[in-house]
């Protein structure tokens, strides 16, 4: 149960807590606290607030790595309750202050709405099947329980930022302790990592867990170029303790994880170029890649992975490896001949 969880010390005065939707970091010096991300829901934020107040910590600031709800959703509540200041990158500030403008949230909401629409259609079919059964007809031999589960998207409350963070200037607590900011763009543009004075590196969503990549081999990436640069940064990092948004903290080296991600990007790129030896529309390419990687053709998968595939297409076009052709009133992508 969440109520039994506590912040776990990692090193020095740096700790973290693992919530249902992601990890949240805490650095404390002279009873002054700095939070790295803020949880997903208001319930998460209430729990974090209870823990911080229970330890007699004065929370000075929240540094949001980026504005996705699972990282920044609790910022408004904690700012209001604890009187702390909230900071984020300039590129992500607009989405923290105006969540409704986020393409990511809109995309997830569209996927959920479509699921609900299909679930409602399936419910009606079941009702009709029930009427048929009452008339002595055979019911369909299948279960549709999962289709009837209705998920919801929690859109965070708009949270005014008190300032921006950037990699060219360390963030300072009132006690004089400095926190380094590292550009980890790629998953989203303007996603920043945070290194505490104890040299614990909170790396946000710059790395996925092996389980996540096994389930979703085409991860959500806004910028392929910047994601590649971020992987290079992580490969050369001097730090040895890492806390991703999802999954367990990592120690000593993350070289294996980074190399795995680099190979995954190469596989996606090679698969796209291979399929584009013949011209294909985006939708045709998505279907081919789903088959190639054995991805279940669910609506959420289609929305999320299609966005990444478009990022790859634009990246490969800038690399002059593919081009656009127009045939029979359709726009198709095509690999350039060497």
- Beta-bridged to residue 33, according to DSSP, are 28, 59
263-293 pLDDT tens trace = 999 999 999 999 999 999 999 999 999 999 9
Please tell me the predicted confidence (pLDDT) of residue 15.
98
The 8-class DSSP code of residue 4 comes to G
Q: At what angle do helices 299-318 and 282-293 cross, to 10 degrees?
A: 110
Please tell me the predicted confidence (pLDDT) of residue 67.
96
Of 51, 20, 46, 47, nearest in space to 33 by CA: 51
Contacts for 23 with CB less than 8 Å, ≥ 6 apart? 16, 17, 37, 202, 243, 244, 245, 246, 247, 249
pLDDT less than 50: residues of the chain: 1-3, 137-151
The 8-class DSSP code of residue 277 comes to T
Contacts for 168 with CB less than 8 Å, ≥ 6 apart? none
Please tell me the predicted confidence (pLDDT) of residue 153.
60
The mean pLDDT of the chain is: 89
Please tell me the predicted confidence (pLDDT) of residue 101.
86
Q: How far is CA 66 from the centre of its chain?
A: 9
The 8-class DSSP code of residue 138 comes to P
List C-alpha distances in Å: 63 to 37, 84, 179, 278, 332.
6, 11, 10, 47, 42
Question: In terms of C-beta density within 10 A (0-12 exposed, 13-18 middle, 19 or more buried), how is residue 126 classed?
Answer: middle
Please tell me the predicted confidence (pLDDT) of residue 136.
54
Please tell me the predicted confidence (pLDDT) of residue 154.
66
Exposure string for 143-166, b = 16+ CB within 10 A, e = fewer = eeeebeeeeeebebeebebeebbe
Helix (H) or strand (E) holding 326: strand 322-327
């Amino acid at each position: 149960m969440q109520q039994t969880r506590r912040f776990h010390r990692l090193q020095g005065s740096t700790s973290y807590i693992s919530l249902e939707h992601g990890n949240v970091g805490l650095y404390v010096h002279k009873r002054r606290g700095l939070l790295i991300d803020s949880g997903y829901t208001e319930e998460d934020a209430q729990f974090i607030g209870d823990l911080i107040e229970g330890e007699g910590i004065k929370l000075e600031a929240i540094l949001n790595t980026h504005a996705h709800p699972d990282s920044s959703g609790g910022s408004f509540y904690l700012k209001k309750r604890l009187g702390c200041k909230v900071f984020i990158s300039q590129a992500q500030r607009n989405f923290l202050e105006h969540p409704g403008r986020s393409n990511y949230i809109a995309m997830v909401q569209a996927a959920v709405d479509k699921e609900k629409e299909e679930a409602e259609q399936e419910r009606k079919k079941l009702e009709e099947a029930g009427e048929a059964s009452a008339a002595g007809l055979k019911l369909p031999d299948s279960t549709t329980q999962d289709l009837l589960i209705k998920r919801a998207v929690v859109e965070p409350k708009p949270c005014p930022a008190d300032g921006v963070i950037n990699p060219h200037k360390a963030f300072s607590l009132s006690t004089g302790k400095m926190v380094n900011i590292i550009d980890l763009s790629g998953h989203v543009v303007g996603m920043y990592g945070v290194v505490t004075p104890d040299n614990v590196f909170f790396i946000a969503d710059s790395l996925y867990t092996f389980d996540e990549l096994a389930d979703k081999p085409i991860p959500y990436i806004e910028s392929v170029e910047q994601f590649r640069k971020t992987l290079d940064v992580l490969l050369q990092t001097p730090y040895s303790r890492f806390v991703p948004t999802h999954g367990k903290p990592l120690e000593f080296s993350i070289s294996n994880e980074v190399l795995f991600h680099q190979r995954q990007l190469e596989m996606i790129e090679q698969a796209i170029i291979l399929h584009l030896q013949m011209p294909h529309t985006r939708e045709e390419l998505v279907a081919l890649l789903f088959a190639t990687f054995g991805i279940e053709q669910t609506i959420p998968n289609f929305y999320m992975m299609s966005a990444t595939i478009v990022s790859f297409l634009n990246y490969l076009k800038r690399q002059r490896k593919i081009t656009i052709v127009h045939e029979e009133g359709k726009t198709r992508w095509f690999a350039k001949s060497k």
